[in-house]
Amino acid sequence: MPPTPESPMNNPLGSAPTPAKPLLDSVLDELGQDIVSGKVAVGDTFKLMDIGERFGISRTVAREAMRALEQLGLVASSRRIGITVLPQNQWAVFDKSIIRWRLNDEGQREGQLQSLTELRIAIEPIAARSVALHASTAELEKIRALATEMRELGESGQGASQRFLEADVTFHELILRYCHNEMFAAVIPSISAVLVGRTEHGLQPDRPALEALDNHDKLADALLSRDADAAETASRNILNEVRSVLGTLN
């Protein structure tokens, strides 16, 4: 008898069930990573039954996973065909999960870092200018304190530490939040995800370049002095240094 469309022989998810994973986010994380990495290829189709068999989960949980994948633009579903894997141009590329999955994949990591750095170059310097003009003094002092903390940690060889990462992420989050532009604030999760990923994948040195620390100090000082031009320049210099470092990874 030839295999049916739901036979394990035609199941792109694999025929061997894995141990049960009751949490939806665990199922979604594995399926999303497989699709983003290309392990499950564009155009591949599968059924809810395939998801259930692979993870040992109920049809209800499998359906929730499918809907989550649909919301991310990774798949489309239909009664006639089942679940179809979509190409990258359909993905919700700003979603932090997709960013994380792309960073986890060696084939996509460099491109993801590059594209997000270019996004930051387009947005953050303008946000910094607006912060200098419109943020409160208390808000600017928070940014100044974070720059000081980053320098202390970086100069003591803790540039790849969790504390440095938290300070770095918060520094750039506050720039985007205190500019009081809701469109810029909407990309905070995307930019935070790439900063986290850079550290997780060993791309953040224990001792950051002095130029990078200096530029964060210059930005914080320009903001406190309400010098919008200097703030925009310092922010651009931070990101140009990041882009330069990425260029050495080619």
34-79: per-residue pLDDT in tens?
A: 999 999 999 999 999 999 999 989 999 999 999 999 999 999 999 8
**Residue 20 domain-assigned?**
yes
Calculate what percentage of the chain has a pLDDT beyond 90.
Answer: 78
- Give the orientation angle of helix 188-200 with respect to helix 106-134, to 10 degrees: 130
Among the listed residues 58, 69, 56, 59, the one whose alpha carbon sits nearest the alpha carbon of residue 25: 69
Domain that holds residue 130: 96-247
**Residue 2 domain-assigned?**
no
CATH number at residue 117: 1.20.120.530
The model scores a pTM over 0.85: no
CA pair distance 115, 111, nearest whole angstrom: 6
Residues 56, 134, single domain; the answer is no
16 pLDDT more than 50: no
**Token digits for 173?**
């989050």
Residues 134, 84, single domain; the answer is no
157 pLDDT more than 60: yes
Residues 140, 209, single domain; the answer is yes
**Residue 222 domain-assigned?**
yes
Q: Which of 90, 108, 141 is the last residue of a domain?
A: 90
Quick one: which H or E segment has residue 45? Answer: strand 45-46
**Token digits for 224?**
């406190």
**Residue 117 domain-assigned?**
yes
Residue 158 banded pLDDT, cuts 50, 70, 90: very high
How many domains does the chain fold into? 2
- For residue 167, report the phi and psi dihedrals to the nearest 5 degrees: -65, -40
* 8 A C-beta contact, residue 207 and residue 162: no
* 8 A C-beta contact, residue 47 and residue 5: yes
Among the listed residues 217, 175, 211, the one whose alpha carbon sits nearest the alpha carbon of residue 195: 175
Collapsing DSSP to helix, strand or coil, 82 comes out as strand
Length of the chain: 250
Residues 132, 28, single domain; the answer is no
Can you give the pLDDT at residue 11? 56
Residues 153, 82, single domain; the answer is no
* 8 A C-beta contact, residue 71 and residue 94: no
Residues 129, 209, single domain; the answer is yes
pLDDT digits (tens, 9 = 90+) for 224-243: 999 999 999 999 999 999 88
Rg (CA), the chain: 22
